[in-house]
A and B are shown apart, each in its own frame.
Chain A
């Protein structure tokens, strides 16, 4: 059973860069069993898919965040990372790391981390 744990700073100022990590246990991030996603949830609101990294390392992002988001991986640490630049208050949200089955690109999110709250405030 794969387990995901997000970590990162909880408070940022506008224009700063958000950096979050997702540490995966119970499986290797490049094994092919899973692909990896970031999803966020604004306070008291719905869910928004942020982006995806395939177990091969290729990425795909939500166009609404185009140019600001990068998802990367560190196979030596078995971690997935999210970088979001030029943050504003609209980026305040709980950020989740989630896996999806690796055999196809389009798959549901079957395992989730507990989420980490990021607040952007001056």
Chain B
């Protein structure tokens, strides 16, 4: 199975600042990568798919990039509602696998 590794585990950011989250696959997954946001007590929410396409209703301050094995989620001008855990997920191969998550905290 594809191993997905996220870094850092925790990112401390002030509101209004930007954040950059990384996700690495152990083998190429083309652009078959999604990013999810999860807040406490809630289900994950799809943010980005196809490595860089925002899902419906996702603000433009969220952007994704990357191809192959290296991917990035960027959040510009962090809002209070953006503090959460972010997961990357590959859907290139069975079984579909997630990274361990990056917590973005104030």
Contacts and interface: CB of A to CB of B under 8 A. Distances in A.
A31 to B, nearest CB: 19
B62 interface: no
Contacts of B99: 46
Contacts of B1: 63
Nearest to B48: A108
Interface residues of A, number: 20
Contacts, number: 51
Contacts of A48: 98
Interface residues of B, number: 24
B60 interface: no
A117 to B, nearest CB: 11
B24 to A, nearest CB: 15
B97 interface: yes
A109 B46 contact: yes
A59 to B, nearest CB: 11
A108 B89 contact: yes
Interface of A: 46-49, 60, 62-64, 96, 98, 100, 106-110, 112-115
